[in-house]
Amino acid sequence: METDADRRIGFFDTGVGGLSVLGYLAAAGAGEEYYYLADRAYRPYGGKSAAEVLELVRKAAYFLIEQGVNELVLACNTATAAAFRGLTRELQIPVWGPIEPAARQAAKLCPRGTIGILASELTVKSGQYDRSIKKMAPGSRVIGEPCPGLSSFVEAGEISGPDVEAYLREKIARLEAKGMEVLILGCTHYSFLRELIESLMKNRVPIVDSSRELAASLMLPARQKTGLGLHPSESKFKYFVTAESEQFAAVGAKLLAGRNGLVLSALDVGTITL
């Protein structure tokens, strides 16, 4: 019988954003093996067509399957919006994504109010959050605010400072002007901006972090079998990037510093071509 220690989980993102999910998950790990693939060669995905993103994500998925993963995590809202349904039908392993768990939490917090979303252009345009939320909260109103370029701040390790703060102030103001009562961080990169966003919002509305919600859904099988899980050091981590491996490692290490004991170094990262 397969045990928790047999979980070999493949993570996919366009860059460092999915590390936020891995950071949350590692603290409650139960001896899993984690394989993380960042497609920095073709990022950002937010301005691409759904068909383009689906093809890129499919290539990444099959690479991870070749590494022996038996679960696939689309640790990217844009990839989930474009590819989740197709890959769920196509692949013979479980596929996870952040949209459904984040939508569920937002619907629970605000079943009849206005839910705002900060996300990529493709994620907003896809309507996946809108549909998922309204299945659970038909009386809700969903408003999406596209944030082109915001993930690039995080990819550069810039999670504070006047430029990113000004960008976020403008986007948040637009959502608040439309009566937002709950805010979804609809991109895993934005999890690293949460402290800044909270300081700007001043607790005016609850914040739903799609990275945290995805991690919670992934932790459930481990908790059901093993209780609280084991220390992160008992898990194994492998990282692959399609470009700029040194920058990925440097920025990733900076962003993960102090997060659940997860450590990333350049020695852990390999460069591949899809």
Which residue numbers are catalytic?
76, 187
Among 142, 211, 151, smallest CA distance to 179 is for 142
Q: Which residues pair with 209 in a beta bridge?
A: 185
The secondary structure of residue 63, as a DSSP letter, is H
What CA–CA distance (Å, rounded) separates 1 from 166?
53
Which residue matches tokens 């400072």?
161
Q: Maximum distance among all alpha carbons in the chain? A: 54
What CA–CA distance (Å, rounded) separates 139 from 236?
44
Q: Which residues contact 249 (CB under 8 A, 6 or more apart)?
A: 239, 264, 265, 266, 268, 269
Residue 93 structure tokens: 């392993």
Please give the helix or strand (H or E) that residue 245 lies within, else none: helix 245-256
What CA–CA distance (Å, rounded) separates 268 from 1?
31
What CA–CA distance (Å, rounded) separates 67 from 234?
20
What CA–CA distance (Å, rounded) separates 30 from 233?
10
Residue 133 near residue 103, CB atoms below 8 Å: yes
Among 36, 85, 77, 31, smallest CA distance to 58 is for 85
Residue 74 structure tokens: 């689309």
